[in-house]
Structure 1
Amino acid sequence: MNLGIFCGVGLFAFTGLILLGDDAQAEDQDIHLLSLQVENDLFFGDTDQDYTNGIRLAYVHHPGEKRLGAGINGFLRKNLPLARSGKNVDVYYSLALGQNMYTPEDISRSDLIVNDRPYAGWSYLEFGVTAQGRNDFELLKLDVGLVGPASGAGFTQRQWHHLIGADQPNGWAHQLPNEPGLNLHYARGRRFVIDRVGSERWSFDVTPHFGAALGNVYTYGAVGATLRVGTDLNRELGAPPRIQPSLPGSDYFSGEGFDFYLFAGGEARYVVRNIFLDGTWRSHEHDVAKENAVLDLQVGAVFFWQDWRLAVTHVFRTKDHEFADGGHEYGSITLSHRF
């Protein structure tokens, strides 16, 4: 399927879902947000291997209190456990388009490298809904996309390397074959707040969470926590989002003026399936034995200025397959604008 047609159909479907719930008057307060995320191992690790690049463009819609009783909004408030708990909970929606790429360590070789991970690409549409209270969140995301040459990841990397004058990746002819991907991600967390740290303006919080993924791309269970210290931590709940698989984060933020915080977090995952290591269900040239237990650690900083948010994250991931020399590290940069 042509990726452009696929994305257009997904956007039309998502817009239809939102319209089902938008029968309120125009004076309802709508909040919209756009985020661009770029993740690359060049940022901190100065490598070009494993999970080497990811990009995600997300649109977030918070429809306002009066809109939450109609259509799909009412359905979600009745069926998300946090939303139906009776607490003061906001519900917002997200639509994202993303692409991930995975390569072996030596991208100069054009032959099949059997003692390293296969080349693989993944392009997807992500449909998300999040219920968020002052100290609780629950999110559900559905990814629909394509693994293989149809993802366009090989073309993207070759063109980017040509543009910046980097070494060309020569092994994309051996990437995993085409396979449709369908994946469901769920996470829930609760924040515990210490109101003051040294002054009335500074505060500290801890947000433990648990989550799971189910699908032919990823299947795993996860537990983790995020610690933050900074000014006005109520502007968002937990750290900013990252590209899956990752610690959960908030696509939405609020507040005015300038604020910032520092954060550190970790997530342990028990992985049952990882298509980029296990290979597709369709016949493929090779695969590698994955590590079932994987740990992500992250540190970073977030800055707010009025309707803008900038997040910078340094991620450390433990060895995830048999041929890896050790762990992998990469950086994530997210720029968001609220309107």
Structure 2
Amino acid sequence: MAANRLSAQGTEKMLRLYEDNDGLNIRFLPTDQAYTNGFRLDFFYTKTGRDHFFLDRLAPKAGNSSINAYGWSAAQLMFTPDSLTEYNYRPNDYAYSTALFAIHSIYSYNPVKKYAFQSELILGVRGPAAGGEATQRFIHHLFKFERPHGWSHQLENKLLVNINVRFEKQLLQWGSHVELSGGTQVSAGTMMSGVSLYPLLRIGKMQPYYNGYIRQYTNTQRPKIPHHGILQAYLIFRPEIQWVVNNALLNGQLHAEDPVNEYKTVMIDRSNATIQKLVYSLNYGGVVSFGAFGIAYTQNTATALLKHGYSHEYGNISLYFAFH
């Protein structure tokens, strides 16, 4: 049934470019600390026929009526301490840490029964091999920001392999302009392990959420009435509670200056005991799209990720372009 629907509509493709940065702040209070930057480039596509790639066959789907979007992505995430001007290691702050990884994803939505599965397989590396020092120094040089000095004691190289699976189900709907869903995500692997729960509220002029991932941000189908159904403009609210088992971007081994002899370095092991097990956050923002183009801005406010850490905010801006 899903294959017949896609065949009738034609396969779709979508590019997404997104940037997380704590310099993006609707309260005009930019920072450069904790989770400070994240860049991701995605290529999503629908297809007809059976899945042949083993990851696509194993991923959970949303039933025979599902609309499935497959994705290949590359991403880089970066953490830094509160002060970039200090050369010394700060044991009670976030360590310099970067992850560079590839993602294969399957987003499966059932428009009839109103539920979805989203699955991601992550493979990458944390540490100097992830290129965080070069990225941040280039950006800071380009925009004349302060030069970061502490990258000599960033978390060491580590292989990252992770699986993330998310389930969402519509709970309530008021007409075509208000939707409320509930969701949960389970993550396991060497990058991050944990469980999260959240409601997702969307308000505005929008395509139904369970009509597929690509349709949430773009619409390349020619409407029967000119311009009817092409414009989307809606708000998003998603509070979340997360139980964290491990997070490789926060803890691991690093080299730092010996406090006794400044000409020597010592290996420091940041224990998982410093991780805050319960994290609360709020994501809110909006989406505007017209036809094949879409743009979204969201703000994330979260409690401390470390027991001796601090709450933090960052913004996300995402650009979408769909085509056949």
Structure 2 length as normaliser, TM-score?
Answer: 0.83
**3-state SS in 2 of match to 1:68:** coil
Provide the residue aligned with 2:296 in structure 1: 311
Asked if the contact 2:285/2:298 (under 8 Å) is kept, the reply is yes
Amino acid at match of 2:123: V
Deviates more, 1:126-135 or 1:254-263: 254-263
CA distance in 2, matches of 1:274, 1:258: 39
Are residue 222 (structure 1) and residue 201 (structure 2) matched?
no
CA distance in 2, matches of 1:125, 1:82: 22
What does 1:243-322 align with in structure 2 at a 5 Å threshold? 250=213, 253=216, 254-255=218-219, 256-280=229-253, 284-287=267-270, 289-322=274-307
| Alpha-carbon distance, 1:27 to partner | 9.7
1:204 to 168, 178, 184: 178
Distance 1:48 1:100, change over 3 A: same
| Alpha-carbon distance, 1:114 to partner | 1.7
Q: Could you give the per-residue CA deviations for residues 151-191 of structure 1, whole angstroms, max 9, x where no partner exists?
A: 00111000110010000110001000111111110000012
Are residue 333 (structure 1) and residue 310 (structure 2) matched?
no
Provide the residue aligned with 2:96 in structure 1: 119
1:171 to 141, 150, 162: 150
Asked if the contact 2:252/2:270 (under 8 Å) is kept, the reply is yes
**3-state SS in 2 of match to 1:155:** helix
Deviates more, 1:108-117 or 1:251-260: 251-260
Distance 1:53 1:95, change over 3 A: same
| Alpha-carbon distance, 1:113 to partner | 1.4
2:308 to 323, 330, 336: 323
**3-state SS in 2 of match to 1:161:** helix
CA distance in 2, matches of 1:273, 1:327: 19
**3-state SS in 2 of match to 1:191:** strand
Distance 1:281 1:175, change over 3 A: closer
1:60 to 44, 50, 62: 44
Structure number with bigger Rg: 2
Amino acid at match of 1:129: I
Provide the residue aligned with 1:146 in structure 2: 125
Asked if the contact 1:68/1:74 (under 8 Å) is kept, the reply is no
Asked if the contact 1:260/1:302 (under 8 Å) is kept, the reply is yes
1:40 to 4, 13, 21: 21
RMSD value over aligned CA atoms? 2.6
Amino acid at match of 2:186: A
CA distance in 2, matches of 1:272, 1:73: 28
5+ residue gaps, structure 1: 1-25, 197-201, 239-248
CA distance in 1, matches of 2:244, 2:149: 30
CA distance in 1, matches of 2:254, 2:235: 42
Amino acid at match of 1:185: N
CA distance in 1, matches of 2:108, 2:32: 37
| Alpha-carbon distance, 1:193 to partner | 4.3
Amino acid at match of 1:33: M
Deviates more, 1:164-173 or 1:125-134: 125-134
Provide the residue aligned with 2:224 in structure 1: none
Asked if the contact 1:203/1:233 (under 8 Å) is kept, the reply is no
User: Could you say which structure has the higher helix fraction?
Assistant: 1
1:103 to 72, 77, 80: 80
Q: Could you give the per-residue CA deviations for residues 96-115 of structure 1, whole angstroms, max 9, x where no partner exists?
A: 10001100001100111122
CA distance in 1, matches of 2:17, 2:89: 34
| Alpha-carbon distance, 1:73 to partner | 8.9
Distance 1:309 1:75, change over 3 A: closer
Asked if the contact 1:174/1:285 (under 8 Å) is kept, the reply is no
Amino acid at match of 1:302: V
Identity of aligned residues (%): 24
Distance 1:34 1:75, change over 3 A: closer
Structure 1 length as normaliser, TM-score?
Answer: 0.79
User: Could you say which structure has the higher strand fraction?
Assistant: 2
Asked if the contact 2:36/2:79 (under 8 Å) is kept, the reply is yes
CA distance in 2, matches of 1:139, 1:179: 26
Q: Could you give the per-residue CA deviations for residues 183-210 of structure 1, whole angstroms, max 9, x where no partner exists?
A: 11000001234243xxxxx511111001
